[in-house]
Amino acid sequence: MNDTVAGTQGYGADADALAEQYESVTFEEVHGGLLHLYPATPVRALDLGAGTGRDAAALARLGHTVTAVEPTPELRVHGERLHPAPALTWLDDALPDVPVLTERGERFDLMLLTAVWMHLDAAERARGMRAVAALLAPSGMLAMTVRSGPVPSGRRMFDVPEAETVSLAEAAGLRVAHRGGRADLHGRPGVRWSELVFTAP
């Protein structure tokens, strides 16, 4: 995968700076409002749009078996260097259709989409929700954090109404388990994050 993948424009060229930014905050800081919902016992976890693997590596340290999916090769290189772990497998795949994951046929008990969803346009979001819902195991959990606010130069981002995400998830057979939000951890003016958690039947 490369910059032709939906939403990855500019990430390869800026990978070094982005890796430093991603690693400047912790998994616990990013997911603090959601950690009480995540499985306490080891499960099969998927970090879709894993970046440098910060969150995937944290899940592996907690005992989960983790697949980290990142379509930008420059970010995967950073991730594999920064976070080598036997329980962490890296894959090259991408939304909205995740063909590699779909072909593998594996199902996951926990799926993270952190700072990913707003890179997809409306049609891609509709396809993407169906694809990710199909990857969840029975009673599996999908946790999403979605950015709103000014779009950085050179990035492809969209304003994603929270109600739309909920509607797409429910249409894909998922149930809302949590709705919340938080400020931007990097202090960027006007940037906020919505937090949504869905569960499969």
Burial, 191: exposed, middle or buried (Cβ in 10 Å; 0-12, 13-18, 19+)?
middle
The domains of the chain are located at: 42-199
Whole-model pTM?
0.90
3-class secondary structure for the chain? CCCCCCCCCCCCCCHHHHHHHHHCCCHHHHCCCCHHHCCCCCCEEEEECCCCCHHHHHHHHCCCEEEEECCCHHHHHHHHHHCCCCCEEEECCCCCCCHHHHHHCCCEEEEEEECCHHHCCHHHHHHHHHHHHHHEEEEEEEEEEEEECCCCCCCCCCCCCHHHHHHHHHHCCCEEEEEEEEECCCCCCCCEEEEEEEECC
The pLDDT, as a whole number, for residue 108 is: 99
User: What tens digit of pLDDT does each residue of 98-118 get?
Assistant: 999 999 999 999 999 999 999
CA dist., res. 55 & res. 147, Å (int) = 17
Query: pLDDT digits over 148-161, tens only?
Result: 988 877 888 999 99
Cα 58 from Cα 110, distance rounded (Å): 13
pLDDT at 124 over 70: yes
Q: How would CATH label the architecture of 42-199?
A: 3-Layer(aba) Sandwich (3.40)
- pLDDT at residue 59 in the model: 97
pLDDT band at 19 (very low <50, low <70, confident <90, very high): low
Q: 40-54, pLDDT tens digit by residue?
A: 999 999 999 999 999
Q: How many residues would you count in the chain?
A: 201
Dihedral sign from CA coordinates of 96, 101, 103, 107: negative
More confident position, 190 or 8: 190
In the chain, the amino acid numbered 6 is A
State yes or no: pLDDT of 186 exceeds 80: yes
pLDDT at 31 (0 to 100): 94
